[in-house]
Amino acid sequence: ATMTLYHCALAALDTEDPDLARNALVLEEEVDRLERLYKEHHLRRLDQGECDPSAGILYVEILHNLERIGDHAVNIAGDVLHVLRGTGTLL
């Protein structure tokens, strides 16, 4: 989901397509949902002793970083929409 969001935001920037930019905004909700879901499943595995706690820290950090990539991609899509509405400029 993060890579789809990223590619959608970059395509919106490249083509100045507001529909792609809006799609990126919708995809961000899915990225957030998946992060929460994966963390919940991970915590359950930790509680059941199925995972190594030290590896678990890295797993959660990776999930967080993927979510942040999604946030940055949404910022790009939002900037595209602002420019297309005439309320912002791209550098």
What structural domains does the chain harbor? 2-85 (1.20.58.220)
Cα gap 20→24, rounded to integer Å = 6
Q: What one-letter code names the amino acid at 58?
A: L
pLDDT digits (tens, 9 = 90+) for 21-35: 999 999 999 999 999
pLDDT tens digits for range 46-77:
999 998 888 889 999 999 999 999 999 999 99
Q: Looking at residue 87, what is its pLDDT?
A: 83
**Length reported for the chain:** 91
SS (H, E, C) 10-58: HHHHHHCCHHHHHHHHHHHHHHHHHHHHHHHHHHHHHHCCCCCHHHHHH
Say how far apart CA 5 and CA 89 lie, in whole Å: 22
> pTM of the entire structure?
0.84
